[in-house]
Amino acid sequence: MSSTAAPSEAGIRKAVVAALRKVAPEIDPTAIDPSKSLRDQTDLDSMDFLNFVIGLHASLGIDIPEADYPQLSSIDAITTYLRGRMRQIPAEA
């Protein structure tokens, strides 16, 4: 319950990839360029994307507001965004 318990960047990245694989099992994470647009590299529709966000919420406990979706463009951007959110609210239930 202390702020030092926030997961590492590697841990967050792992959770991101796991959530992605759950909605799109055919994705090969090693074939995805983490710096480039996720939607351009995968066939995610809006339902998939919502399920991806739900998956992140389930594994990391971070509720991502809809208004922040534009910040979730690539795996790198998502990781950076989530780290920032977890520092803000390290102990969200």
Partner 1 sequence: MEAGTLTRWLVKPGDHVKRGDIVAVVQTEKADVDVEVFATGEIERIVVPEGQKVPVGTILAMLHVEGEAPAAAAPLPVPTAGAPPSPAPPPAAPAAPPAAPETRERLRVSPAARRRAQELGVDLSVVPATGPEGSITLDDVAKADAAGKPAGGVAPDRASAMRRAIAAAMSRSNREIPHYYLSCEIDMGTALEWLTAENAKRGVAERILPAVLLLKAVALAARDVPEMNGFWTDAGFRPSPSIHLGVAISLRSGGLVTPAIHDADRKPLPELMSALADLVARARAGSLRSSEVSDPTLTVTNLGDLGVEGVFGVIFPPQVALVGFGRIGDRPRVREGAVVPRPSVLASLAADHRASDGHRGGQFLVAIDALLQKPGSL
Half-sphere exposure of 42 (CA within 13 A, CB side): 28
Stretch that binds partner 1, among 6-14, 28-36, 63-71, 84-92 (CB under 8 A): 63-71
Interface with partner 1, residue 51, by CB under 8 A: yes
Q: Name the burial class of residue 10, with classes exposed (0-12), middle (13-18) and buried (19+) by CB atoms within 10 angstroms of its CB.
A: exposed
Rounded Cα gap, residues 89 and 93, in angstroms? 9
Give the C-alpha separation, 35 to 33, whole Å.
6
Cβ distance to partner 1 smaller for residue 10 or 43:
43
- Does residue 45 bind partner 1 (CB under 8 A)? yes
Q: Is 64 in the site for partner 1 (CB under 8 A)?
A: yes
Residues of this chain that interact with partner 1 (CB under 8 A) are: 24-26, 43, 45-47, 50-51, 53-54, 57, 63-67
